[in-house]
Each structure stands twice: as structure tokens, then as C-alpha cells.
Amino acid sequence: MNQDLKNHINESLKKGVRLDGRKKEEYRPIEIKTGVVATAEGSAWVRCGDTEVIAGVKLQVGEPYPDSQDEGTMMVGSELLPLSNPNFESGPPGIDSIEVARVIDRGIREGKAIDTKKLCIRKGELVWTVMIDVMPINHDGNLIDIGGIAALAALKNAKMLEVENDKIVIGKRTDAPLPVEAMPIPVTVLKIGDNLIVDPTDYEEDVLDARLTVSILDDDTLCAMQKGGGASLTTKDINEMVDLAIRKSHEIRKKLKEAL
Amino acid sequence: MSKYTERENGRGFNEPRPIIAKAGVIKKADGSAYFKIGKTAAYAAVYGPREMHPKHDQDPKTGVLRCNYNMMPFSTEERVKPGPSRRSKEISMVTTKAILPVVNLVDYPNAVVDVFIELTETDAGSRCAGICAASIALADAGITMRDMVAAVSCGVIDHKIAVDLDGPEEHLHDLDVADIPIAMVPSTEEITLLQMDGKVSKDELFKAIESVKPVLKHIADIQRKALKDRYK
Amino acid sequence: MTEGKLLVKEKDVVVPGEVLASGMSYLPGNGTYRLNDNIMANRLGLLVIDGKVLKSLPLAGRYLPRKYDVIIGKVIDILMSGWRLEINSPYSAVLPLKDASFAYIPKGADLTRYFELEDYAVVKITNVTSQNLVDVTCKGPGLHKIKGGRIIYVNTNKVPRIIGKKGSMVSMIKRATDCKVIVGQNGIAWISGEPEMEVITVNAIKMIEEHSHISGLTDKIKEYLEKATGRKIEFNAEPAEIGEEVRAEETVEADSNGSGHEY
């Protein structure tokens, strides 16, 4: 990144103005729709500024893991689709895709968003697997947060499938919802120079020094974190970033509740 | 006489499913489109003309069109494993060839025009929806093209022509079902995509082609309207 | 021969494969072609009727380098004897040593002293070959390395409307916001000023980009600028006619203070 341009962004941020005119702690307007994909057990579409994401939930049945015989399993997948941004290339998922998927996954998993005990069909033999895929249609930054919100909305929207002779009946959805018990909201805070901002555009992500994603439950418990970027963080930084993330999680949780 | 006297979905035999088309839906792309027919929905984004990588694929005489068709994991009832498959590679190739006859990239030697097609949900006819979306996206990107390319699949169910099969029709068990995806340049009626699986007589094939021609012209009108609506 | 019939109006948005006129009395121009008895559009554009000739002026499409265009480029590679610049086009440009500075650059000098990777510069195209190899120069009035400020990308087809007649549209924005603005013909623009004013400048440029095909554009932009800045504008921009040739140079010269070479 051009150091001159970076300094310029820094100077503007010091005066409290971002490139698109937002304040440092201001999210772009969020729009959430659920049930947008007929072939998914659950789905959601989320738009935040020019970032637009579709998340879809598919259910499968299979054997449990040996160390958790009475629990279903889950996994989040994501791909930085070359459709969504000129800088993404075709090919197997790179480390950036993998990080997005794993950070969203960690929040949902460790926040116990899904009660996996309720996804056991027969202990030690047959359990549900929840596959959540998060796909950007349009990528203008903050994919972890927006993708995480879309994943939660899709989970809330999901319906169970019928099972016959230990096999799922393709396309036969029941009225039973997926056992979603908690909503761990991921919030990413960026550090650029001495400034902390939320909901970055991809231009802002290009110049970040460090970032911290914190997944937060409704009682403000933290359930997953990821520090990114090349620069280090002081304890004071982390303190401020977590505080900011918690404050923002309240706003987003409210939006999400309204949409569901 | 055909045993298929009435379509299960209540449509007329020459009637496609409802269509929604939009241009300019992806801000970061040079051109983009959304095309939905029934419950089959495709996004397409165009990037380019831009520098071609790998370099050995460059053509010093003209720009190269490169289409990539992909289904999102949740776009079918059985989850699709991410990454290219034999099927998606073949569809990418026939999609490129379906559109190539209308585009003119001679002003862009050595460059590439990338078209990325993503299916968010499918209920049969996904390659045709992809071609329709790609064609709008290319026009939206300002690419020189002498016409749109419109595509739809034509079914022959127990010797009866049925335009734009949906999933349940494609999977009718007790009747013979043939599926013929067709793409056409509307102004000249040139056929640019023709595939088939299933059994038909030569006579039925030509009946099928004639039946989709007016449908394809109708689809092209919808494609053009999507482009104009962007500037309203 | 039947009498020709025009099926569209001046300034209509036309799209590929659309029949613009039937009969033999009209002629195809840029962006249109004849198919049997019809004139058809072969790109998305605004229709211009020039006597009997029908043209479609592009509304979209990437920048194709043209000799003498003043553009903004970004250094993406340092070569043996110059720099490679990304110019928002399918093709990159080369800035040769001899065209980088009025000062003599000795062979083997550390080229990053002049232009570093990711630096931006206002340059002029000196040559374009049939294979679109592009040479540029940084020597000349208004041409210089860019310092500070921010860069945005706009639709290159809308650049004439953003600049306006004799640079009047961009002048209006500059006066209203006190920002420095340079719009390259290739759709890369540079803006520098107070943070809030830069935001207003960007918004105004984006508005022009989005509404370039409508009439009353100047009033719309003026109204926005007055509202956003809280200042009255005593200046009227004249929008460039649709299809009118407007060159980025006109704004660059006004901006450079004749300096530009600061090494």
C-alpha cells in the first residue's frame, strides 16, 4: 500500500472522518432477508453497504465423532468467490477464504449456537451434520461479520428434514426448526494507526495494521476471537477493541432479532 | 398420442416459468446480472477485458472470453461439494462457446474477459439461466456484441414438446423425458448451444427447436429490458 | 425501396441486438451495424443521431489507451530502464527513464528515488502500438507524481461529463469544496482536501457518474454541493454535450500550478 495514501487515511480518521464519510464506530446500513434459497434447509441474504452475502444451511446424516457419540456435527464453509471482487482468483480456497470460514465456524461452535445434543438420532451410530456455506455475492469488506450474521440468520431459518431408514428424504422438510439456542455475533474491530474502526470496506481492509474479531453472546460473554493483521496490539488496544465490539454486538443483535 | 396431456405444473406446453432479470447487481464488477427462471437463479459477473493469466493463453489477435459456471453448495437438494467438477467444467466450456459468436473482442488483443456464473438455487435449466445472466452481464460491461444470447431448455416428454422443464418434470419416472438445452442469437436465429439427453426422433428435435424460438425472442426482450431499466 | 423508419429517439439507452431503424435510409455508425434492412445496436450506449448516421455512445466498458490522453497511473513494477504503470485498462503502460523527469537519471540509479511501487502519477500517453503496448511521459505541463490525497476509480466513459465543458463541472466541485481534483481520462481520479470536503467531492463525482445520461445534471450537482457544504455557489458549470470530446488535460493544467516536478 502506498504510504502516502495510508497516511492520508490516518489523518482523516484522526479528524473522525472515514473515506465514505462514516464515523469511526459507524456500521453501514444492514438489510437481512431469510428463506431466499428454495433448495436450502435454511438460508439468508444480508447486505451491508456494498457487501452482499448469501448463507445456506444443508443437513446430512452420518456417524458421530468417536469422542462425542451423542452429538451432531457442524461445519462452516466459505469461498471468496471471484464473482464478488476483482482481486479474488479462481482455484481452491486460499488462506483468506479458510480464515473467514474458520472464524465464523469458531463463533457458532464455541458459542454453542446449535444444541448438538439435540442433533443425535441414535447414540454412537447416527447424527445430523449441519453444513453452513457462506458465499459473498459482492465483496466490499467485513466478510467475517456480515457472513457471520448471514450464517446465524440462515440457521434460525432452517427446518429439519425427514429421515427414513437412516437416510434423509431428499427435499422433504418438516416444520421442526433446527435447535438454535444462542446467537454469537462476530464483530471485527480494525486498527489503522491509532484509530479503531468497525465494518471496514475492502479499501480500509487493505490499509489495516491489525484487526480483532470477537464473537459475543447476548450476556456479553466472549466465545471466540481472532487477531489478524501484521501489527501487534497492546493490552490497552485489546481492552478498547473488545469494549467497542461488545457495544456494536448490541446494535447488530437488535437488527438481527427484528429481521427474524 | 402422448400420455403427457397436461403439465403437472399447470403451464402451457410453450410457456416458460416466470422470469426475473436485473442488470448491474454487483458493484465491484465491470458488468453483472441476475437471472431467475422459476426456482433456478443465476448471478453473473464480468471482469475485464483485463490482463490474461496464464500468459500462454493469450491470443495476440483478439481478446479471449472465459466463462466459469459454478453451483453454490446449497443450490441443489443434495449439497454440492465446493470446487470444480467434470460437470461444471463442461458447462463452463459450452457456455463460453454459446456466447462467443456474438461478442467482438478484436480491440483487446492478449486480454481476457472473465465471466463468473454462480447458481444460488436450481430447479433444472441452470446452464441456460447461466447463459442468460452472462449475456446480460457482458452487455452491461459495455462489451461489443451484435445481439444478446438467450437460452432455454426444451423438453420432449413422451413425444410431447414442453418448453422449459422444471425439476419434477425432468424426473418423471413413468414417461420418456428428453431434455434439449438450446441457446440462440435472436436476430438471426443461429443456434449456439445444443445438447440433449434422452431419446427423440429427428422430427421431434426440429419441432422442439421451432417451439423455443419465440420463447427465446421473448427472453431476449426481458434481457434487454433489464439493461435499459438500469438507466431509468 | 421502402422509406426508412426510425424506431428510437436521440439519447435513448440502446442495447445489443435492438433494432434502431428499418429501411435503407439510415446508416450505421459507431456501436451500430446493418443486418439486412435494419440498423441494430451492438453495444450498450446512448443513441446519437448524426444526420442519417446512427451511433451508440458507450455507457460502460473499460478504458482503451489513446495517444495524448492525460491519465493517472499506479506504479506496479520497477523495470531495468523505467517503470510499469497500472492504468485502469486491460493494458499496462511503461514510463521510460528518459520520460520520467527533466533531471538526468544516470544508468544504474536507484529508480525508487523517483517512483516507488504503488506511487501514483499524472502522465500523458506518447505512443500506443497495435498490440496495445503503451508508453507514457511524466514530462510536460501538469504531469507529475501525486503526493497525499486519495484515489478513486470512476467509469471512464463518464469522464467527459465529470469534467464538463472546459473543465467547468470539476471546477464547480473544486470551488465548492476547496479540494484539489485531477480526473484522468482513464477514470482514475485524485482528490485532496479536508476530510469532510473530500467525501462531498467523491459523492458529487459519483452522482455525476450515476446520472450522467439525464438532463439537468448541473443543477442537481449544484444543489447537492450547496446543501452539503452549506455554501452558495456563484458559478455555473456547463455540462459537456453527450458525446462531446472533453480531455482531462483541461483540468490538469488548471491544477498543477506549473510545477509538478519536485525532485
CATH number for the domain that contains residue A92:
3.30.230.70
Q: Which residues of C97-127 are buried (b: 16+ CB within 10 A; e: fewer)?
A: bebbbeeebeeeeebeebbeeebbbbbbbbe
Give the Cα-Cα-Cα angle C112, C114, C119 (nearest 5 degrees). Answer: 75
**Distance of residue B203 Cα from the nearest chain A Cα, in angstroms:** 36
CATH class of the domain whose range is C70-145: mainly beta
* Count of domains for chain A: 1
pLDDT of residue A198: 98
Per the structure block, which three cell numbers stand in for B14?
410453450
Is the Cβ pair C132, B110 closer than 8 Å?
yes
Domains C5-58 and C70-145 share a fold: yes
Residue A52 has pLDDT above 70, yes or no: yes
**CB contact B188 to C (< 8 Å):** yes
- CA closest to A23 among chain C residues: C196
The mean of the pLDDT values for chain A is 95
- Which of the two residues, C112 and C214, has the higher pLDDT score? C112
Residue C254 has pLDDT above 80, yes or no: no
Mean pLDDT computed over C216-230: 91
Residue C93 has pLDDT above 80, yes or no: yes
**CB contact A57 to B (< 8 Å):** yes
pLDDT of residue C165: 86
Q: C91 vs B31, C62, C94, C133, CA distance in Å?
A: 19, 10, 10, 7
Using a CB-CB distance cutoff of 8 angstroms, which residues of chain C are in contact with residue B107?
A: 64
- Count, in order, helices (H) and strands (E) of chain C: 5, 17
pLDDT of residue C106: 81
Q: Could you tell me what percent of chain A has a pLDDT over 90?
A: 94
pLDDT of residue B232: 85
Residue C109 has pLDDT above 90, yes or no: no
* Count of domains for chain B: 1
Mean pLDDT computed over B41-63: 95
- List the single residue in B27, B43, B70 with the smallest CB-CB distance to A140: B27
Give the Cα-Cα-Cα angle A195, A98, B115 (nearest 5 degrees). Answer: 95
CB-count burial class (<10 Å; 0-12, 13-18, 19+) for B170? middle
pLDDT of residue B117: 98
Structural domain boundaries enclosing A201: 3-259
Residue C2 has pLDDT above 70, yes or no: no
Task: Look at the alpha carbons of A196, A200, A205, A211 in this order and tell me if their dihedral is positive or negative.
Answer: positive
Whether B152 is covered by a domain: the verdict is yes
CA A124 to chain centre: 30
Residue C255 has pLDDT above 90, yes or no: no
Residue C3 has pLDDT above 80, yes or no: no
User: What ipTM was assigned to the predicted interfaces of this complex?
Assistant: 0.94
Total Cβ atoms within 10 A of residue B19: 18
Q: In chain B, positions 34-53, which contact chain C (CB-CB < 8 Å)?
A: 48-51
Mean pLDDT computed over A133-145: 97
Whether B87 is covered by a domain: the verdict is yes
Read off φ and ψ for residue A34, nearest 5 degrees. -115, 165
CATH class of the domain whose range is C150-253: alpha beta
Confidence label for C247 from pLDDT (cuts 50, 70 and 90) = low
User: C83, C88, C147, C150: which to substitute to probe chain A, counting the most A Cβ within 10 Å?
Assistant: C150
Size of interface A-B (CB pairs under 8 A): 89
pLDDT of residue B1: 77
Q: Measure the CA dihedral A218/A222/A228/A231, to 10°.
A: 120
Residue C257 has pLDDT above 50, yes or no: no
Using a CB-CB distance cutoff of 8 angstroms, which residues of chain A are in contact with residue B50?
A: 86
Range name among A32-46, C68-82, C106-120, C139-153 with the lowest pLDDT average:
C106-120
pLDDT of residue C239: 67
The mean of the pLDDT values for chain C is 88
Range name among B198-212, C34-48, C54-68, C101-115 with the lowest pLDDT average:
C101-115
CATH class of the domain whose range is C5-58: mainly beta
Using a CB-CB distance cutoff of 8 angstroms, which residues of chain A are in contact with residue C179?
A: none
Mean pLDDT computed over A66-75: 95
Q: Yes or no: say if B148 and B102 are a contact pair by the CB < 8 Å rule.
A: yes
Distance CA A125, CA A63 (A): 5
User: B34, B71, B74: which to substitute to probe chain A, counting the most A Cβ within 10 Å?
Assistant: B74
Confidence label for C244 from pLDDT (cuts 50, 70 and 90) = low
- Three-state secondary structure call for residue B31: strand
pLDDT of residue A3: 81
Distance CA A152, CA C4 (A): 61
Structural domain boundaries enclosing B191: 19-229
pLDDT of residue C101: 85
Residue A226 has pLDDT above 50, yes or no: yes
Tell me the pLDDT tens digit for each residue of C165-219.
Answer: 888 899 999 999 999 999 999 999 999 999 999 999 999 999 999 988 777 888 8
pLDDT of residue C262: 28
Mean pLDDT computed over B8-13: 94
pLDDT of residue C216: 84
pLDDT of residue C243: 62
Q: Where are the domains of chain C?
A: 5-58, 70-145, 150-253
pLDDT of residue C107: 76
DSSP at B128: H
Confidence label for C251 from pLDDT (cuts 50, 70 and 90) = low
Per the document, the length of chain A is: 260
Residue C253 has pLDDT above 60, yes or no: no
Using a CB-CB distance cutoff of 8 angstroms, which residues of chain B are in contact with residue C60?
A: 30-31, 140-142
Mean pLDDT computed over C6-16: 95
pLDDT of residue A157: 97
Residue B218, strand partner residues: none
**Distance of residue B203 Cα from the nearest chain C Cα, in angstroms:** 30
Confidence label for C76 from pLDDT (cuts 50, 70 and 90) = very high
Q: Could you tell me what percent of chain C has a pLDDT over 70?
A: 89
Residue A19 has pLDDT above 90, yes or no: yes
pLDDT of residue C258: 34
CATH number of the domain that B94 lies in? 3.30.230.70
What's the half-sphere exposure (Cβ side, CA atoms, 13 Å) at C258? 0
Residue C256 has pLDDT above 80, yes or no: no
pLDDT of residue A111: 97
User: A20, A28, A33, A39: which to substitute to probe chain B, counting the most B Cβ within 10 Å?
Assistant: A39
Confidence label for A98 from pLDDT (cuts 50, 70 and 90) = very high
**CB contact A129 to B (< 8 Å):** no
